[in-house]
Amino acid sequence: MSRRARLWLVAVGGAGLAALFVAAALDLPAFGGDHHPYGDRAVHAALTRRTANVIASVNFDQRAFDTLGEMTILFAAVIGCVILLRRTHDEHRGRPAPEKVARPVRRYSLLVLPVALLTGLYVIAHGQLSPGGGFQGGVVAATSLHLLYLGADYRALERVRPVALYETGDAIATSAYVVTGLAGLIGGSAFLANTVLPYGTFNTLSSGGTVPLLNAAVGMEVACAVVVLLARFLDQTVEIEEGNGK
């Protein structure tokens, strides 16, 4: 199709969708309204289960089944990237030359690295109490490891990052989530039921029953997954070279 024809299609389709959406927006309840039945029930349920961060309660208790799907999507994407970015028969691995890093950059990144890593772990650990949790902390922790690439060089990064180990960690964390869910089925009433552990004292690290466990599993999964994802992309950019016979 010519670019012009496509533009016409986009104009027609976009205009229709825009009109539809604007009409719908005019029928929506006004922004900032007070009608949130599900939200109010969720807050109530979180408080009865002594989870201070209601979002953590929704994610890891009330709608933990959604989170199972979500972490599986991440898990699937990691396997997918490992497969899609594998070294094929016509490619070979080149050794990246060590690169010189400017001293301020090196000092800065080596200073920030432990801070960022600790922040990530802290954010994971306090998931059920304060904003944050497995997802956010996991991403921060995994990304911080890659400051090594900036501060030292690729080889230093490779030493602290045996990718195979992280792949296994990713899989183990995913199974841990499922197994916790199964424990709910066997020991309690239903799959992913938060009835196995005591709910603890409100606003402490061990409150919320299985919420901290699931949160930790997700944190580990996300951290491992992001490390593997970045590793695969770095591998493609830095190491893998195509052979001449294409």
Partner 1 sequence: MDASLPLLVAVPLLGAALLVAGGRLVPRPVAETVGCAVSAGTAALALVLLLNSSPPFLEWSGGWTPVQGQSVGIVLIGDGPGLGMAALASLLTLASLAYSWHYFDEPPSGHAGSFPALLLLFQGGMCGFAIAGDLFNAFVWFELMSVVAYALTGHRVEEARAVQGALTFAVVTSLGAYALLMGIGLLYARTGELGMHAIGRGLDAHGCPDALVLAAFVLVMTALLVKSAAVPFHFWLPDAHAVAPTPVCMLLSGVMVELGTFGVWRVYGTVFSGPGGVPAPEFERALVTLGALTAVIGAVMCWYQRHIKRLLAYSTVAHTGLFLIGIGVLKPEADDGIALYVLGHAGVKAALFACTGILLDRYGSVDEHALHGRARELKGVAVLFVLGALGLAGLPPFGTALGKSVTEEAVGGPLTVLYVAASAVTAAAVLRVAARVFGGLGPRPETGSGYETTGSGERPETRHRLSRIPDTMTAVPAVLLAGAVAVGVAPGFAKVVARAVNETGSAGVFTSVHWTPAGVLLGLVSTLLAGVLALLAVARPKAFAAPDRALWLRRLQSGHVGDYVAWVLVGTTVLGALTLPGMLGG
Partner 2 sequence: MADAVIVVALLLVALSATAAVAVRDPARQALVLSVLGLVLAVLFTVLQAPDVALSQLAVGSALTPLLLLLAVHKVRRRGKKEGHHR
Partner 3 sequence: MMDVFPYLVAGWVFLTGCYGLATSRNLIHAVGCLSVCQAGTYVLLLAVGYRDGATAPVFSDLKPGSRPVVDPVVQALTLTDVVVGATVTALLLALVVQISKRHGTVDPDELSELRG
* Residues within the interface to partner 2 (CB under 8 A): 53, 55, 123, 131-133, 135-136, 139-140, 143, 226, 229-230, 233-234, 236-237, 241-242, 244
**Nearest-10 Cα torsion for 47, 50, 53, 59:** -90
Chain-centroid distance of CA 140 in Å reads: 10
Q: How far is the CB of 49 from partner 3 (least distance, A)?
A: 12
Question: Choosing among partner 3, partner 1, partner 2, none, which partner's interface includes residue 234 (Cβ < 5 to 8 Å by kind)?
Answer: partner 2
CB atoms within 10 A of CB 167: 18
Using CB under 8 A, pick the residue from 131, 185, 237, 242 that binds partner 1.
Answer: 185
**Residue pair 73/66 in contact by the 8 Å Cβ criterion:** no
In terms of CB distance, is 10 or 115 closer to partner 1?
A: 10
Question: If binding is defined by CB under 8 A, does position 21 make contact with partner 1?
Answer: yes
Binding mask 137-176 for partner 1 (x = CB under 8 A): ---------------------------x--xx-xxx-xx-
Q: Cα–Cα distance between 29 and 192 in angstroms, integer?
A: 34
**Residue pair 85/77 in contact by the 8 Å Cβ criterion:** no
Q: Cα–Cα distance between 213 and 27 in angstroms, integer?
A: 42
> What are the CA-CA distances from residue 106 to residues 100, 115, 145, 148, 152 (Å)?
10, 15, 14, 9, 6
Question: Choosing among partner 3, partner 2, partner 1, none, which partner's interface includes residue 116 (Cβ < 5 to 8 Å by kind)?
Answer: none
Residue that the structure tokens 């939200």 belong to: 39
In terms of CB distance, is 48 or 95 closer to partner 1?
A: 48
Q: How far is the CB of 78 from partner 3 (least distance, A)?
A: 8
Question: Choosing among partner 3, partner 1, partner 2, none, which partner's interface includes residue 96 (Cβ < 5 to 8 Å by kind)?
Answer: none
3-state SS class at 110: helix
Q: How far is the CB of 139 from partner 2 (least distance, A)?
A: 4
Q: Cα–Cα distance between 42 and 54 in angstroms, integer?
A: 7
Q: How far is the CB of 187 from partner 3 (least distance, A)?
A: 25
Q: How far is the CB of 219 from partner 2 (least distance, A)?
A: 12
Residue 229, token pair as written in the block:
């994802």
Question: If binding is defined by CB under 8 A, does position 190 make contact with partner 1?
Answer: yes
Binding mask 59-78 for partner 1 (x = CB under 8 A): --xxxxxx-xxx-xx-xxx-
